[in-house]
Structure 1
Amino acid sequence: MFIKSSVSIAKLDDEATTSSAVRNPRDTVGEILAGLRSFGLRRFVSGDYFQTVVLTLSGPQVDQIIDALRVERPDFAVDFFHILSEEYGFLHSRVSRFIASHVLAGKRRFKEMQLVIKQTVEEEGSGSAPSLCALLFNSFRGWDSNIVIWDMLAFQYSRFEMVQDALFVLAKMKDLNMHASIQTYNSLLHNLRDAETMWDMHNEIEVSGTPPNEYTQSILIDGLCEQSRLQDAVSFLQDVKGKDTELSIVWFNTIMSRFCTLGYVDVAQSFFCMMLKCGLFPDSYSYNILIHGLCVAGSMEEALEFKQDMEKHGVEPDIVTYKILAKGFRLLGLMSGAWMVIQDMLLKGFNPDLFTYTLLICGHCQIGNIDEGLKLREEMLSQGFQLSIISYSILLSSLCKSNRVEEAVRLLYEMEAISLKPDVITYSILIHGLCKKGEVHRAIQLYSEMCSRRILPNNFTHGSLLLGLCQKGNIAEARKYFDDLIARNLVDDIVLYNVMMNGYIKLGNIAEAVRLYRKLAEKGISPSIVTFNILIYGFCKNNKLGEARKLLDTTNLHGLVPSVVTYTTLMNAYCEEGNMHKMFELLREMEEKAVKPTHITYTVLIKGLCKQWKLQESVQLLEDMHAKGLIPDQVTYNTIIQSFCKASDPRRAFQLHNEMLQHYLEPTSVTYNILIDGLCVYGDLRDADKLLLSLENEKLNLTKVAYTTIVKAHCAKGDINRAVIFFRQMVENGFRTSIRDYSAVINRLCKRHRINEAKYFFCMMLSDGISPDQEICKVMLLAFHREGDLDSVFELLGEMIKFGFLPY
């Protein structure tokens, strides 16, 4: 009907609409072809006839149409192919796809051809190569662009990591004397870079006659490095260099990166120098590799030198360079260095991103500077950044560790306000923080909230609640919760058992802890060394050292090695008994089992020696600690200093104090309390005065104990004026005074008949809001009576009645 020249478009549409729904398929193909020839593609496909018939077209019919158009109008063939798939959702057959691909390749529309082959491979899937190759061989052999289609098919299989299919296509191409492109070979080589067959693929490239490119060699070197065949990679690089082939900076970067990953930064630096000798100029990536390696190794100073070197040679540090350096400083806890790097980055015009902020927040929290971390959070929010759940978790953890749980809870609700859903870690951190603070009730509320949101608690959550209940003394409630977990089969390891046993031990209930220990065998749960440490501590606390020692031997039956805590706990118990023989016997046993003692272990030994007045031996042990690289802490020194003070040897005590300073160990307020007390009791009181005044001048932390000690000493010596002076200094320095402090001074003053001073202190006590007790009133009444000051006697009697004391 279309060959009639008198037929108008209106007539065509009308007849097409009223034509029979049942058509001869061959006639349909012919009609569509005739319509396309007569009216053109766009006019024809927009007509009512095509809109009706298109839905009835089969795959073979479309194949015939596209094949016919390929010969007559190749542009129509491709456009018709796309219209059917894009506008009508038609699923083309393999034949149509290959026809369209050949046409596109012939017209050098390679991107469109690549897309068609890509969709074909994606839809056909793994294992489809044999059938597709058979179709290409049987139906498309001899077509002009056939080799391009074969090559693209192999390439797409490789891109989808269907390596076996890609290799099958290559094998068939080889049989047909077709050569694959280097892009296809490179893609396959990249997929095989982790396998031993990578080298075989490289040899095949050379045999095929397809010239490799720079990317080929880069893949090969990368593969050898991935397989840790660094010697082969270096040999290959030297072989390429010997052939006068132009070297690539990428090859050197790849080798340097691998050596840095393995920790051989010095070797990587030698390749950096070799690159310069070969006339290659390092890029920012080259420098970043070495800077990262040096940062991981902790050589921050050298890393900064490399950064300066890259600037000196005209290579500008990029955002990656600054992030590497900032992260390096953070890992070492050097936040001042990290901040210096960030400031330099900002001066160079780089804006801080989410990574930079998160890095700084983590770093500040790591060194305990939580307020700086919170400031950065506010800055992030003002800049439009949303903190990740990791950043919030770090802030929450730091706040809880600093006992700022209320602020942590507010952060939790801030997360919800910005639609960031808390996870089990977030809730567990807060529950642990609340339990640690003693707010177990609130922790249980938060636990219930977490469960209502279908967030399953983990062992850390359960352990925190159990620990909180035990610390509050609610052992019965803790046991009920523990038994409920067991009933629901939620206790599958030793951790929660340890928490419960430790709770019983802290309350002195060793029997119940032992019963729980015996239940472990029934449940098939193996005890840990922590389990034994808890029980050993319990037995030592209850003076059952024989049982504790038996438990130490029992650890071997369970294949466990006693820890330093195990031995130190037992040694401390023997120390309290004064059994030095057993203490050093345990020390020898530790050394035999290669359990290294800590400074706490040695402090226990020193305490034992000091108790037996073996002060020279304790000093020798202190020197042994330094020789073994163990750093004594303030407790260690305080123990020996106190013993020398009690031995009336303050000179030696001060020598140990000076030794602390030489070892950069800051004496604590306890250290100075011991020294002042030693001078007051066993030495010269004037030296005690001088020490206290010098500590005040140096703004060192002094405690109330230092003042009360020296006040009592002056009162005992009869130097009331000095006692009054130091008491006033104590009050002026902001220390809170009690009835006991005033009683000690007033009693001394009254005994020394210093009634006016006693009366002054009595009035000072009242002005401080401290109510007197009957004893101090009795002392004052007797003093006034002895002095014949009856007015003061009656005045004080009146005051006593006001305070509710009945005169006797």
Structure 2
Amino acid sequence: MLHLRRSKSFSFPLHLLNLSSLIISKPFLSAAVVTEEESIDSSILNPRNPVPETLEISSERRFLSGARVSGYRERDKHGFGHSRVYLFEICHDLAGKGRLKKLRRILRRIVEEKGSGSAPALCEILSNHFRKRDYNSLVWDMLANVYSRSEMVHDALFVLSKMNELNYKASISTYDSLLYNLRHTDMMLNVYDEILANGVSCSVYTYNILIDGLCKQRRLQDAISFFQGMKGKGFFPCIVTFNTLISGLCHAGFVNSAWSFLSMMIKYRLFPDRFSYNSLIHGLCVAGSVERALEICDHMERTGVKPDVVTYNIILDGFRLLGLMVESWKVFHRMLLKGVGPNLVTYTVLIAGHCQRGDIDEGLRMLEEMISQGFQLNIITFTVLLSSLCKRGRVDEAIRLLSKMESVCLDADLIVFCNLIHGYSKQGEVERAIQMYKVMCSKKIMPNSAAHGAILLGLCEKGMTLEARKHLDNLTESGFLVDVRLYNIMIDGYVKMGDIQNAIGLYKQIITTGVTPSIVTYNSLIYGLCKSGKLKEAKELLQTLELYGLVPNTITYTTLIDAHCAVENIDAIVGLLDEMDAKGVAPNVITYTVFIKRLCKKRMLQKSVKILKNMYTKGLVADQVTYNTIIQGFCEQRNMEMAFCLHDEMLRQNLEPSPITYNLLVNGLCINGNLEGAEKLLDTLLEGSVRLSRIAYITVIKAQCAKGNAHKAVVLFKKMVNTGFEISIKDYSAVINRLCKRCLVNDAMFFFNMMLSIGISPDWEMYAVILDAFRRKGDLSSVSKLYAKMIINGLLHK
């Protein structure tokens, strides 16, 4: 009988991007091999020369109990000794009696003792001593079977190749076992071709294993072809066949096709089980159709299949992936109402959901609740929280959580240490990251490329390139297989420090050591050369990367375009854009924005608008930065009509103008002397609940002050204060300076006293401006009072 196995353990990914591996059990087809209790047909047994029963049993017992045959200490050239020949003698007698259970037991002990790679020697013993013995083919077949079931696939294949030379046929059970072990590889179909070539009849298990393997290899069309083929050969598909196809289609995202197989299953008078429905529900949840998954859950219950904790965990995780934690909790309460108890996976999914939305404290609270309820925790739940804490810079809390994890007898693994090292590195605490690295090594956990990368990144970000290079050189000298990612971190570190010479030197080193550079390597170097003004060398490097079969990407060209923008080489920019088009490299929004920025600086505004329109024809949606760049250009040219047209275009494209957009428009109106329009724009935006920046208000207030409209400036300033903006001394200083220049010193004093009333102390420069204004006005009394205030505030000595 074909069984479905559920995996009892599972591995946890670094960022917990998908919890499906924790939630849904996957079908594993057990190899359909000869069972322990089976026997062979008595008509093919040869009763001649039987071994006495007492000798057979006593010899077998001695071997199976672990005792070695003492009379055969001398070893032959194979290193096995004559005891193996004697044991194969027993195997042949057991085969003759049809006692296959005991035969397999002896062969298994021989195989386990000698281990992987022992097939050639064992085959030679069988060839030299037993070629003319009855039932020799059965012993060979059983040996291949035992190797396969012990997952020594190469040994099993070797035995089968020798059997072909001797014209012995392997049984379908042996082939089935081998197919199962090779189901993740292309060799599976080669074995199937051999089955057909040898005329061995397939079983329904054979097709189930083939279909399962093809699904795992994502060769779904081939899997469906085998399904149709088994029907054509008279094999009746079983529920395992359908479940395998449904699961494979769902994992590949073809949920509708999977649903059609569920319907077909019913036509075959096979009733879908919990696994059938769980596979469909999982597929729907991964596709984001969680509501439909809930409908399937209801359908299960109506057909008499009760959803289990796996079912609910899948749906919980589906809502988590969508960020709908409220819905996840509704599913949790539904579980409880249905009498389904949550398990460790349930709580881990909920904790992951809260961490995903930034509510780590709720996740920590749930962990405490799990501990208090006596849950047998595993490292995955802790890793979810540790990873989230480290990402948000709460590394000290992560260390405390690590202590708690160790207190419940869970040891930190590589993933935990990598998270902590990354956390410290991101905070710039490289010394603590290195300390954590040493702790990991002391626990005999070998650091991987990610751990070394975190150390290098931390050192480079602190500008400690000498220390980073020393760490990298130590890795290479110790024999660690340094991948290109580590070299890229080091090269990028040099580039950011402006050390292009060492960056190029390291690049040449990795070429000589046989490490193939990646596009990231070249992008860093091209950026460094452009930053150093070496545009010719950067262009030459662009041609070099193609020798390694690499294609320049958008970042490569955008870097070069930006560099040519800086030297105002428009022809070179156009050439690079044409080259991108010829090579099928699509420019992105940043590429166009860089070019538009340069055009605006050259006052080529109409051309920049044309480029903007060209973006939309290529399916690119411009962002606020792109629009703001062009709006600023038109404002500087005092073409406010065109600036507002672009603002309206943003709204038509469903792009919300940013506070910077309105700052530019307000400033443009003020520059053009249209203060009334600027105030009207501010009022309109406030009525529409648009959040303005403080700069927009200050711009209009300063303009009103410059015009001598002190009253309007006061009104706007109060409105800004009431809006809730935090006003700084610089804001007061800007207004007071302009009023004093207009000799509106009394109005300046109004703002001066307002500033004092909210606890902001004026500096010496502000006093000086007001004193000068009073002197010019001839108000010496006010000058004396201000001097007195300055002395009191410690700004002047008596």
Q: TM-score under structure 1 normalisation?
A: 0.72
1:285 to 263, 275, 292: 275
Tell me how far apart the structure 1 counterparts of residues 110 and 699 of structure 2 sit (CA, whole Å). Answer: 91
Q: Please name the residue that 1:779 is paired with.
A: 769
Within a 5 Å distance, the mapping from 1:541-552 to structure 2 comes to: 541-552=531-542
What's the CA shift string for 1:734-776, capped at 9, x where partnerless?
5444433222222233344444442332233345444433332
For residue 510 of structure 1, what is the amino acid of its counterpart?
I
1:234 to 227, 230, 255: 227
* Counterpart contact for 2:176–2:205, Cα < 8 Å: no
Q: Please name the residue that 1:412 is paired with.
A: 402
Residues 1:503 and 1:223: Cα distance change in structure 2 (over 3 Å): closer
1:438 to 418, 428, 437: 428
* Counterpart contact for 1:646–1:682, Cα < 8 Å: no
* Counterpart contact for 1:221–1:233, Cα < 8 Å: no
Deviation of 1:575 after TM superposition, in Å, equals 1.8
Q: Please name the residue that 1:396 is paired with.
A: 386
1:580 to 564, 570, 574: 570
Residues 1:161 and 1:572: Cα distance change in structure 2 (over 3 Å): closer
Counterpart check, 1:461 vs 2:447: no
Deviation of 1:704 after TM superposition, in Å, equals 2.8
For residue 226 of structure 1, what is the amino acid of its counterpart?
G
Counterpart check, 1:716 vs 2:706: yes
Residues 1:599 and 1:393: Cα distance change in structure 2 (over 3 Å): farther
Q: CA RMSD for the aligned pairs?
A: 5.1
1:273 to 250, 263, 267: 263
Within a 5 Å distance, the mapping from 1:499-648 to structure 2 comes to: 499-521=489-511, 523-648=513-638
Tell me how far apart the structure 1 counterparts of residues 313 and 528 of structure 2 sit (CA, whole Å). Answer: 50
Deviates more, 1:336-345 or 1:603-612: 336-345
For residue 461 of structure 1, what is the amino acid of its counterpart?
A
Residues 1:343 and 1:658: Cα distance change in structure 2 (over 3 Å): farther
Residues 1:330 and 1:595: Cα distance change in structure 2 (over 3 Å): farther
* Counterpart contact for 2:300–2:307, Cα < 8 Å: yes
Residues 1:495 and 1:310: Cα distance change in structure 2 (over 3 Å): closer
Residues 1:630 and 1:345: Cα distance change in structure 2 (over 3 Å): farther
Deviation of 1:589 after TM superposition, in Å, equals 0.6
* Counterpart contact for 1:400–1:430, Cα < 8 Å: yes
2:457 alignment partner, SS class:
helix
For residue 234 of structure 1, what is the amino acid of its counterpart?
F
Tell me how far apart the structure 2 counterparts of residues 559 and 167 of structure 1 sit (CA, whole Å). Answer: 42
1:744 to 734, 737, 743: 734
What's the CA shift string for 1:210-267, capped at 9, x where partnerless?
xx9xxx5355344355356545533455447xx7x98744443344444445655444
Tell me how far apart the structure 2 counterparts of residues 390 and 618 of structure 1 sit (CA, whole Å). Answer: 52
Q: Please name the residue that 1:33 is paired with.
A: none
Q: Please name the residue that 2:109 is paired with.
A: 123
* Counterpart contact for 1:190–1:219, Cα < 8 Å: no
Q: Please name the residue that 1:348 is paired with.
A: 338
Counterpart check, 1:703 vs 2:690: no
Q: Please name the residue that 2:296 is paired with.
A: 306
Deviation of 1:571 after TM superposition, in Å, equals 0.6
* Counterpart contact for 2:510–2:517, Cα < 8 Å: yes
Residues 1:624 and 1:420: Cα distance change in structure 2 (over 3 Å): farther
Which structure: larger Rg? 1
Residues 1:393 and 1:153: Cα distance change in structure 2 (over 3 Å): closer
For residue 227 of structure 2, what is the amino acid of its counterpart?
V
Structure 2 unaligned blocks of 5 or more: 1-50, 70-82, 112-117, 181-187
* Counterpart contact for 1:399–1:405, Cα < 8 Å: yes
Q: Give aligned pairs, total.
A: 705
Tell me how far apart the structure 1 counterparts of residues 539 and 125 of structure 2 sit (CA, whole Å). Answer: 76
Residues 1:552 and 1:246: Cα distance change in structure 2 (over 3 Å): closer
Deviation of 1:602 after TM superposition, in Å, equals 1.5
Tell me how far apart the structure 2 counterparts of residues 151 and 692 of structure 1 sit (CA, whole Å). Answer: 89
Deviation of 1:140 after TM superposition, in Å, equals 14
Counterpart check, 1:223 vs 2:210: yes
For residue 217 of structure 1, what is the amino acid of its counterpart?
V
Deviation of 1:586 after TM superposition, in Å, equals 0.3
More helix by share: 1
Residues 1:773 and 1:602: Cα distance change in structure 2 (over 3 Å): same
Tell me how far apart the structure 1 counterparts of residues 360 and 616 of structure 2 sit (CA, whole Å). Answer: 34
Tell me how far apart the structure 1 counterparts of residues 237 and 476 of structure 2 sit (CA, whole Å). Answer: 67
Q: Please name the residue that 2:755 is paired with.
A: 765
* Counterpart contact for 1:189–1:220, Cα < 8 Å: no
Tell me how far apart the structure 2 counterparts of residues 724 and 419 of structure 1 sit (CA, whole Å). Answer: 67
Residues 1:382 and 1:448: Cα distance change in structure 2 (over 3 Å): same
Residues 1:251 and 1:720: Cα distance change in structure 2 (over 3 Å): same
Higher relative contact order (CA 8 A, sep 6+): 2
Tell me how far apart the structure 1 counterparts of residues 462 and 195 of structure 2 sit (CA, whole Å). Answer: 69
Structure 1 unaligned blocks of 5 or more: 1-62, 71-76, 142-148
Deviates more, 1:479-488 or 1:621-630: 479-488
1:352 alignment partner, SS class:
coil
* Counterpart contact for 1:536–1:551, Cα < 8 Å: yes
* Counterpart contact for 1:536–1:570, Cα < 8 Å: yes
Deviation of 1:390 after TM superposition, in Å, equals 4.2
Tell me how far apart the structure 2 counterparts of residues 662 and 422 of structure 1 sit (CA, whole Å). Answer: 54
Residues 1:317 and 1:493: Cα distance change in structure 2 (over 3 Å): closer
Q: Please name the residue that 1:21 is paired with.
A: none
Q: How many percent of aligned residue pairs carry the same amino acid?
A: 47
Tell me how far apart the structure 1 counterparts of residues 785 and 632 of structure 2 sit (CA, whole Å). Answer: 47
For residue 319 of structure 1, what is the amino acid of its counterpart?
V
What's the CA shift string for 1:501-552, capped at 9, x where partnerless?
4334333343444444454455555443333322322332233333332332
Within a 5 Å distance, the mapping from 1:141-180 to structure 2 comes to: none
For residue 422 of structure 1, what is the amino acid of its counterpart?
A
Tell me how far apart the structure 1 counterparts of residues 443 and 243 of structure 2 sit (CA, whole Å). Answer: 49
Residues 1:458 and 1:611: Cα distance change in structure 2 (over 3 Å): same
Deviation of 1:588 after TM superposition, in Å, equals 0.9
Tell me how far apart the structure 1 counterparts of residues 159 and 576 of structure 2 sit (CA, whole Å). Answer: 68
* Counterpart contact for 1:578–1:611, Cα < 8 Å: no
2:411 to 400, 421, 427: 421
* Counterpart contact for 1:362–1:373, Cα < 8 Å: yes
Deviation of 1:585 after TM superposition, in Å, equals 0.8
Deviation of 1:592 after TM superposition, in Å, equals 1.4
Tell me how far apart the structure 2 counterparts of residues 161 and 778 of structure 1 sit (CA, whole Å). Answer: 89
1:323 to 298, 303, 313: 313
Counterpart check, 1:357 vs 2:357: no
For residue 226 of structure 2, what is the amino acid of its counterpart?
A
Residues 1:763 and 1:365: Cα distance change in structure 2 (over 3 Å): same
* Counterpart contact for 1:157–1:165, Cα < 8 Å: no
Deviates more, 1:434-443 or 1:476-485: 476-485
* Counterpart contact for 1:189–1:219, Cα < 8 Å: yes
Tell me how far apart the structure 1 counterparts of residues 549 and 670 of structure 2 sit (CA, whole Å). Answer: 54
Deviation of 1:723 after TM superposition, in Å, equals 2.0
Q: Please name the residue that 1:679 is paired with.
A: 669
Residues 1:728 and 1:456: Cα distance change in structure 2 (over 3 Å): farther
Tell me how far apart the structure 2 counterparts of residues 199 and 769 of structure 1 sit (CA, whole Å). Answer: 89
